[in-house]
């Protein structure tokens, strides 16, 4: 057990990391009761439960509000939209090859310091996920990106006036502080009770204790089967203010535990730096235009998929 010098900070971590959003939950491997039929496609309860596990396994992603049947219905609604999108992608001939998935997987492992597939499999198993299911999620996400471009890419226009307005009103004029962060994530399993949470607290404290005794975070992540993620440099403006203040008090290479509503995390401040000088409009313009383009495309896609839902034959059995 750690000494009183260890401070637990209870905040909601707001950094979006790892894969932006996993588009689809892994397909269920156990026959489960059907909870919805979308046209001729079925959705099982195990898919709903798997989606909850996927969300909870990823830092920066938040479970929808609510509990019990209300939470399951929100997850089901999201799965219905995903099912409609996947069918449309198939109809349009959008496919992702196994080679493309393998390349994305290698990039993911490299970014997160994961040695091999066996290590990744052990980490995924902690959240009741499999490597096969994880690769399916990568494929679904890549398919979604292609469909997004096909459906909305040519339908949105970002004007010069919109870019200038965003720069003048919202774009930060100073670089601000940036922290290079590494993080070990231990999300609460669905329905975790207080006793289970306490066991997880003991485990995260044990990892921290071993780290302070000289073991590297990479070695500890593999030893304990948890995910270590290198977030790179993150602006303090993108963090919860309380978390930013907490991390600003840590020295470079110092690691501390953080408790959130979703689980426990160990966060290491690898380095810190000033954000640099202010960026001129000409320097910032490409970044702003790409951001606004993506924002408009996402909205157009959501409007399109909701229209698909209104036209679909959907039967709910939950």
Q: Write down the pLDDT at residue 46.
A: 83
Higher pLDDT, 119 or 26: 119
| CB distance 13 to 240 below 8 Å | yes
**pLDDT (tens digit per residue) in 198-214:** 888 999 999 999 999 99
The model's confidence at residue 301, banded by pLDDT at 50, 70 and 90, is very high
Q: Write down the pLDDT at residue 25.
A: 43
Q: Write down the pLDDT at residue 294.
A: 92
| The dihedral formed by the CA atoms of 201, 206, 208 and 210, expressed in degrees to the nearest 10 | -170
Task: Indicate the pTM of the whole model.
Answer: 0.60
Q: What mean pLDDT, rounded, does the chain reach?
A: 80
Q: Write down the pLDDT at residue 62.
A: 52
Instruction: Give the span between the Cα atoms of 74 and 51, in whole angstroms.
Output: 11
Instruction: Give the span between the Cα atoms of 59 and 43, in whole angstroms.
Output: 26
Q: Write down the pLDDT at residue 19.
A: 35
Q: Could you state, in order of their start, the residue ranges of all structural domains in the chain?
A: 34-157+292-316, 172-274
**pLDDT (tens digit per residue) in 49-91:** 877 776 665 544 555 655 567 778 888 888 898 889 888 898 9
Instruction: Give the span between the Cα atoms of 133 and 139, in whole angstroms.
Output: 10
Question: Given this chain, do its domains 34-157+292-316 and 172-274 carry the same CATH topology?
Answer: no
| CB distance 96 to 145 below 8 Å | no
Q: Write down the pLDDT at residue 66.
A: 56
Fold of 34-157+292-316: Triger factor/SurA peptide-binding fold (1.10.4030)
**pLDDT (tens digit per residue) in 9-42:** 544 333 333 333 334 444 444 457 899 999 888 8
| CB distance 313 to 68 below 8 Å | no
Instruction: Give the span between the Cα atoms of 177 and 248, in whole angstroms.
Output: 9
Three-state DSSP class for residue 264: strand
Fold of 172-274: Chitinase A; domain 3 (3.10.50)
């Amino acid at each position: 057990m750690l000494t009183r010098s260890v401070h637990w900070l209870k905040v909601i971590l707001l950094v979006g990391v790892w894969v932006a959003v996993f588009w689809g939950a892994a397909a269920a491997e156990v026959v489960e009761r059907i909870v919805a039929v979308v046209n001729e496609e079925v959705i099982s309860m195990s898919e709903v439960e798997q989606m909850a596990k996927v969300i909870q396994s990823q830092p920066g992603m938040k479970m929808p509000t609510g509990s019990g049947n209300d939470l399951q219905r929100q997850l089901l609604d999201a799965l219905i939209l995903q099912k409609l999108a996947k069918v449309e992608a198939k109809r349009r001939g959008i496919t992702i090859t196994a080679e493309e998935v393998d390349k994305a997987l290698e990039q993911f492992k490299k970014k997160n310091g994961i040695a091999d597939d066996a290590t990744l499999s052990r980490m995924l198993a902690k959240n009741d996920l499999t490597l096969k299911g994880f690769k399916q999620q990568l494929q679904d996400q890549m398919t979604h990106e292609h469909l997004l471009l096909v459906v909305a890419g040519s339908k949105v226009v970002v004007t010069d006036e919109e870019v200038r307005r965003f720069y003048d009103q919202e774009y930060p004029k100073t670089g601000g502080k940036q922290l290079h962060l590494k993080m070990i994530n231990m999300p609460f399993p669905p329905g975790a009770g207080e006793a289970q949470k306490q066991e997880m607290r003991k485990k995260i404290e044990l990892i921290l204790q071993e780290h302070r005794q000289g073991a590297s975070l990479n070695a500890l992540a593999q030893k304990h089967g948890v995910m270590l993620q290198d977030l790179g440099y993150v602006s303090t403006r993108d963090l919860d203010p309380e978390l930013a203040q907490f991390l600003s008090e840590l020295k470079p290479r110092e690691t501390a535990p953080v408790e959130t509503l979703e689980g426990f995390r160990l966060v290491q401040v690898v380095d810190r730096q000033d954000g640099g000088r202010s960026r001129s409009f000409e320097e910032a313009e490409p970044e702003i235009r790409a951001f606004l383009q993506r924002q408009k495309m996402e909205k157009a896609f959501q409007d399109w998929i909701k229209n698909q839902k209104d036209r679909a034959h959907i039967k709910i059995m939950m």
